[in-house]
Chain A
Amino acid sequence: MADTIFITDERIDGDADADGPLTGRTVAIKDNISTEGVRTTCGSAMLEDYVPPYDATVVSRLKDAGATIVGKTNMDEFGMGTTTETSAFGPTDNPAAPGHVPGGSSGGSAAAVAAGEAELALGSDTGGSIRCPAAFCGVVGIKPTYGLVSRYGLVAYGNSLEQIGPFGETVEDAAALLDVITGPDDRDATTRAVELDGESYADAATGDVDGLTIGVPTELVEGADEGVVDTFWDAIAELEAQGAEYHEVSLPSVEHAVEAYYVIAMSEASSNLARFDGVRYGPATDADGNWNETFAAVRKEGFGDEVKRRILLGTYALSAGYHDKYYKKAQDARAWVKQDFDEALSEADVLASPTMPVTPFEQGESLDDPLQMYLADANTVPVNLADLPAISVPAGESDVDGLPVGLQLVGPSFGEERLIRAASALE
């Protein structure tokens, strides 16, 4: 199992003298987060031999906290996928559902925690890449509010959308890792300091939901499979039994969230991935020709199908004559989604939905039809468009196929403590 979870299993010991909050604890790191001296591939042949000369801010903070890093985990190439099957290094099996995908794109990180290869893990979430694998592998994953965690050293894919976030076997574990990685960083100007209500995020895992109001967006439940929906309502009933109340809400904008997300993410990807030209890093080439011809040859060899698809579609969406039709409309949809969530959260403490509308796909099932794969992200992408925090917590198994189902809770900006408190009531 471990050989498909990690791309590189080199161990990085934390500061031995640190008596930090993570001393003696093991953490797996998604392979798009830079580790000084340890190769960081992003699941791509383009970076197969790339060794970062510096640590990501989150990695420095882990080391300072005394954590031991046990390896760099497998992922969809550059974070582009929902199954971890687009990795140039092969697929990862799902420890909670053998023969099925672990979800993606941070599939190796979720699998590492589920398989006990690491107590904790870091992933990144651009459109669900932490929450999807958490749901599929039966572990906890948190996508923080945009701006809570520094992305210095994270290899960029869609940088108006993405955040680094933690996985744990329990809500408290994931929250304890969040405590270590948050905080302003002058190397990521989008980060800011946040005043907590309590002592720490981990302290918020009290399981107290007495009086909590939960909004359930009907649009995010209607499209889900029957077994997922049943498990979801069982979890809501459990929260009700502990003193929470729920009401249904409508978010009409989310009907357009998937297309808005993909237009924005692909457009940003086409620009971000322009840096991979084979000059400063990347595979050597013996291609002849000028600058443009050589780049095109390196990129043909270095990128897999899904990455090429997104770069090309993003280039198209930004090209003259199409920018207003696609990119500008997608930005309108994004603003609409934000408004809808703000409104719904003015009348509910948290919003709840199934994390994924489906249970884990079988290995190889979804690769032929990219559009079908994109549609599976319907419940996770609106949260990135709205810059909000969300958590995925195990809700149980589907009574149709016996596979893991995750419950997603969404909160207001920088409302992570509230999410942690509510999610811990399901444990």
Chain B
Amino acid sequence: MSDDADAVNPEAVRHVADLARVDLEADEVEAFTGQFADILEYFETLDEVPEVEREADLTNVMRPDEVRDSLDREAALQNAPETEDGFFKGPNVS
């Protein structure tokens, strides 16, 4: 997608889908191209927002770094489609 929301095109939608790791069907690419143009055009109105002093009054919340119980391995693995020797099994990295 270019700087101009009017220029949203199918290649740009495919590029973002690739970055986000989501495969799309051709008809999804077509539908999203039109919708994204409308939505991004609407987002352009953020240009009218003035720069605002952000004075967040926040405090860090810390806890002691102590060993404590966590999920056991079997429970952590129970939803995985594939496991091997007590590990998650994923696809090849390359």
Contacts and interface: CB of A to CB of B under 8 A. Distances in A.
Contacts of B25: 300
Interface stretch (A58-66, A213-221, A233-241, A327-335): A327-335
Contact of B21 (A186, A284, A292, A370): A292
A305 B28 contact: yes
A256 B46 contact: yes
Given A297-B23, A312-B13, A53 B76 contact: yes
Given A189-B61, A290-B93, A319 B43 contact: no
B81 interface: yes
Nearest to A303: B22
A290 to B, nearest CB: 5
Contacts of A333: 46, 49, 52
A157 interface: no
Interface residues of B, number: 50
Contacts of B71: 53-54
A294 interface: yes
Nearest to B70: A54
Nearest to A188: B61
Contacts of B13: 312
Q: Is the interface of A mostly helix, strand, loop or mixed?
A: helix
Nearest to B81: A284
A311 B94 contact: no
A329 to B, nearest CB: 4
A51 B78 contact: yes
A350 B79 CA distance: 46
A311 B46 contact: no
Given A279-B90, A319-B19, A309 B78 contact: no
B28 A256 contact: no
Interface string B22-47: 11110010011001101110110111
Contact of A263 (B46, B47, B53, B76): B46
Contacts of B35: 309, 370-371
A313 B52 CA distance: 24
Contacts of A371: 35, 38-39, 42
B46 A281 contact: no
Contacts of A332: 49-52, 54
Contacts of B24: 300, 308
B80 A290 contact: no
Contact of A370 (B39, B49, B63): B39
B84 to A, nearest CB: 12
A330 B88 CA distance: 38
Given A296-B22, A308-B24, A312-B13, A291 B92 contact: yes
Contacts of B32: 308-309, 312
A259 B46 CA distance: 7
A279 B54 contact: no
B2 to A, nearest CB: 10
Given A303-B22, A316-B36, A316-B40, 19 more contacts: A51-B78, A186-B63, A189-B61, A190-B61, A256-B48, A260-B46, A263-B43, A270-B20, A274-B21, A277-B90, A279-B90, A290-B92, A291-B94, A313-B36, A319-B19, A321-B3, A332-B54, A335-B53, A371-B42
10 contacts: A186-B63, A280-B79, A285-B81, A305-B31, A308-B28, A309-B32, A309-B36, A312-B13, A312-B36, A335-B53
Interface of B: 1, 3, 13, 16-25, 28, 31-32, 35-36, 38-40, 42-43, 45-54, 61, 63, 71, 75-76, 78-82, 88-94
Which 6 residue pairs of A and B lie closest in terms of their CB atoms, listed nearest first? Answer: A284-B81, A300-B23, A53-B75, A281-B79, A294-B91, A329-B46
